[in-house]
């Protein structure tokens, strides 16, 4: 179908106005904590460059492609047809896909470069529970297998690879993974492959996620991997606190990341910074680095506010976290490593944390013994250094233990 240029109907005009407010041309993420942290260190967080256009030259509504927002009709083909049409304009001002009010049931779909996915306030993207719509894809090279099971993994819901300039945003619309279906199968050991995530972008640059609600992911919620120049701000993530592995935001072998003004309730770590698993992560050798986390609120009674690892074999360095609030979490900061991981965790600076009701404030282990297989090198010992905490207040802490051999 032929897409129009600069359609200024009310919904799309609203989308453009909101995007003008949230999409900047360049973001510095070194603000807050100084380079090298408070009082030391030689590393610098540096700049995240983001050149996304605030309003795309070409726009389309999901309904232009035959989508039906009744919560029952599958719209997988409509989503993919819309993205395919917008891909033609990646070199001509890019394209915006508007998701209007309604419940839009879909299986996984790919994004394209120079694209904005914009959800109306009353739009809900619903992940289908039809297993036939979930393709099985290869495991990540830095993991060597799926996390839940050996072999491949189910696709994530919203995916993309080798992209540049991607915006996923809205007027606080919702992306609902309907994860209860997956959690039950996981608990009953009925899954042959690893569960997918709500959003996974690989080998991509200039990623912007904002102003959305993410609900009930099958597993992790937002997973940028092998990517750079990432901004995630103003989002809400929610899953039952006993749902399995529903991490909030997991930058994985990513550089120049800013996460701010997010509210996360999850059944696992609110934020987990990763970089690959044992010999596979060592071989890929892509660290997660130059990361700012600020103004985060976390609820996670069984896990951490911020975790480093446990899959950290490519290294984690130069992380700044400030103005963090944790309510009913198991730990404030958790560092997880193991013999065979290799890699490093260094130059971590945390300040101004307010912690309320938890088991541990800081928790660190070198014995987090999960391995992809038995081929790991027992001489690959992680290096942990340059960890700094300041201006941390905590109340109702039940356990003093914080380091495990």
The residues carrying an active-site annotation are 268
User: ∠110-224-160 over CA atoms, to 5°?
Assistant: 15
CA 232 to chain centre: 8
Report in angstroms the alpha-carbon separations of 370 from 67, 362, 391.
43, 21, 33
DSSP per residue over 207-263, as a string?
Answer: EEEESEEEE--SS-SEEEES-EEEEEES-EEE--TTSTT--SB--BS-EEEEEEEEE
DSSP per residue over 333-378, as a string?
Answer: EEEE-BTTT--EEEEEEEEEEEEEEEEEEEEEESB----SSTT--T
Give the gyration radius of the chain's Cα atoms. 20
Q: Which residues pair with 49 in a beta bridge?
A: 26
The rounded distance, in Å, linking the Cα atoms of 379 and 273 is 23
The rounded distance, in Å, linking the Cα atoms of 36 and 32 is 12
**Alpha helical stretches, state H, 48-194:** 76-87, 180-187
* 47 CB burial (10 A radius; 0-12, 13-18, 19+): middle
Report in angstroms the alpha-carbon separations of 155 from 162, 193, 344.
16, 10, 29
- Residue of 183, 128, 185 lying closest to 157 (CA atoms): 128
Residue 3, SS3? Answer: coil
């Amino acid at each position: 179908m032929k897409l129009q240029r600069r359609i200024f109907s009310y919904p799309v005009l609203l989308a453009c106005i909101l995007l003008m407010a949230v999409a900047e041309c360049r973001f510095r993420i070194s603000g807050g904590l100084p380079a090298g942290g408070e009082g030391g260190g030689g590393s610098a967080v540096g700049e995240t460059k983001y050149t996304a256009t605030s309003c795309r030259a070409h726009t389309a509504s999901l309904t232009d492609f035959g989508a039906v927002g009744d919560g029952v009709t599958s719209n997988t083909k409509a989503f993919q047809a819309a993205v395919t049409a917008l891909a033609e304009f990646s070199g001509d001002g890019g394209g915006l896909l508007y998701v209007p009010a309604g419940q839009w049931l879909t299986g996984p779909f790919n994004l394209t470069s120079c694209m904005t996915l914009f959800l109306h306030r009353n739009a809900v993207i619903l992940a289908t529970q039809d297993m036939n719509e979930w393709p099985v894809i290869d495991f990540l090279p830095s993991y060597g297998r799926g996390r839940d099971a050996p072999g491949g993994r189910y696709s994530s819901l919203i995916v993309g690879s080798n992209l540049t300039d991607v915006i996923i945003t809205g007027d606080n619309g919702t992306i609902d993974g309907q994860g209860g279906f997956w959690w039950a199968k996981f608990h009953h050991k009925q899954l042959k492959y690893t569960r997918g995530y709500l959003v996974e972008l690989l080998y991509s640059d200039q990623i912007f996620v904002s102003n959305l609600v993410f609900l009930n992911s099958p597993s992790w919620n937002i997973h940028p991997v092998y990517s750079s120049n990432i901004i995630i701000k103003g989002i809400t993530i929610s899953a039952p606190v006993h749902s399995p592995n529903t991490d909030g935001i997991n930058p994985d072998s990513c550089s120049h990341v800013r996460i701010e003004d997010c509210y996360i309730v999850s059944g696992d770590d609110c934020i987990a910074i990763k970089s690959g698993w044992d010999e596979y992560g060592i071989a890929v050798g892509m660290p997660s680095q130059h990361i700012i986390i600020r103004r985060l609120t976390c609820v996670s009674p069984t896990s951490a506010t911020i975790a480093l690892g446990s899959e950290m074999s490519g290294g984690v360095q130069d992380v700044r976290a400030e103005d963090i609030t944790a309510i009913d979490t198991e730990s404030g900061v958790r560092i997880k490593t193991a013999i065979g991981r290799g890699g490093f965790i260094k130059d971590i600076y945390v300040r101004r944390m307010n912690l309320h009701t938890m088991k541990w404030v800081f928790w660190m282990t070198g014995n987090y013994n999960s391995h992809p297989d038995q081929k790991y090198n027992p001489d690959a010992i992680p290096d942990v250094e340059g960890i700094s905490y300041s201006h941390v207040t905590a109340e109702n802490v039940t356990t003093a233990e914080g380091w495990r051999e």
